[in-house]
């Protein structure tokens, strides 16, 4: 959104702004997730510039915002100029409108992709929630005969975990990444054959599955991030909103 802003300075009133839409992207790409448990719906900001919103047909800014468990901008990347930022989630509702509940500093570089997570347990008294930023380090070119998958741990009370993928037809298991991943960290990408899989999350060296998710499809030539969110003290088999859950997000 910041990259796409029109530059109006030094233009006469009759000047026409012409943009070359075929030119390569010169800034960075950033995704935004609201995985802060009990956090209010928010709009995301890069410094003081709003970079996410919910469509409104009334001419007045929507008060809905990005709810818990959702990604901003329809799970698409937002183009942002490279530089140093403080990313924040700001309350979208009328009460406490635009109050920043998170503060996530980070430096983003041109040509890179990033994910910003509002994560943790929301403190309703202080009106604050934690967060972090990670680089989405998928390669520019890779083998299009497979899918790439990585694991991100966004659960504040989870131990370091490792993700395994079990093919629903061959029943073979593939580890994702080379080691267990702690809170606020991302594992490396692993290549897997196209197909439907059961997601299995385990403690290092333990055979038992802590969290599972059935029938998730991965397509060749695509890049995915599976993220753990939620409260590990809650049973993952129930229906509570804050239960541990494995979110699957398409990066490319």
- Matching residue, tokens 């899918």: 147
What band does 25 get if pLDDT is binned at 50, 70 and 90?
Answer: low
142-252 falls under which CATH superfamily?
Carboxypeptidase-like, regulatory domain (2.60.40.1120)
The pLDDT score that the predictor gives to residue 155 is: 98
Q: Where are the domains of the chain?
A: 1-136, 142-252
**pLDDT in the model for residue 138:** 82
The per-residue pLDDT of the chain, averaged, comes to 89
Cβ atoms of 232 and 161 closer than 8 Å = no
- pLDDT given at position 53: 78
d(CA 75, CA 196): 21
Report field, pTM of the whole predicted structure over 0.85 = yes
pLDDT for the residue 12: 35
Torsion sign across C-alpha atoms 218, 52, 46, 13: positive
Question: pLDDT tens digit string along 165-207?
Answer: 999 998 899 999 989 999 999 999 999 999 999 999 999 989 9
């Amino acid at each position: 959104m910041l990259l796409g802003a029109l530059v109006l300075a030094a233009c006469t009133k009759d000047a026409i702004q012409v943009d070359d839409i075929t030119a390569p992207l010169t800034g960075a790409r950033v995704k935004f997730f609201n995985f802060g448990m009990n956090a209010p719906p928010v709009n995301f900001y890069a410094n003081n510039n709003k970079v996410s919103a919910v469509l409104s047909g009334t001419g007045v800014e929507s008060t809905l915002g990005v709810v818990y468990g959702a990604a901003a901008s329809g799970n698409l990347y937002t183009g942002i100029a490279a530089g140093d930022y403080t990313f924040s989630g700001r309350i979208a509702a009328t009460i406490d409108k635009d109050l920043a509940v998170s503060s996530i500093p980070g430096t983003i570089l041109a040509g890179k992709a990033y994910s910003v997570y509002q994560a943790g347990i929301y403190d309703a008294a202080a009106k604050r929630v934690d967060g972090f930023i990670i680089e989405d380090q998928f390669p520019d070119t890779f083998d299009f005969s497979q899918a790439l998958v990585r694991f991100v741990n966004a659960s504040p009370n989870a131990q370091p975990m490792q993700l395994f993928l079990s093919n629903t037809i061959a029943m073979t298991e593939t580890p994702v990444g080379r080691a267990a991943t702690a809170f606020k960290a991302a594992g490396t990408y692993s290549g897997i054959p196209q197909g439907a899989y059961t997601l299995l999350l385990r403690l290092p060296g333990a055979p038992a599955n802590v969290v599972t998710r059935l029938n998730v499809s991965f397509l060749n030539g695509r890049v995915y991030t599976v993220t753990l969110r939620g409260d590990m003290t809650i049973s993952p088999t129930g229906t509570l909103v804050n239960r541990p859950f494995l979110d699957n997000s398409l990066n490319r």
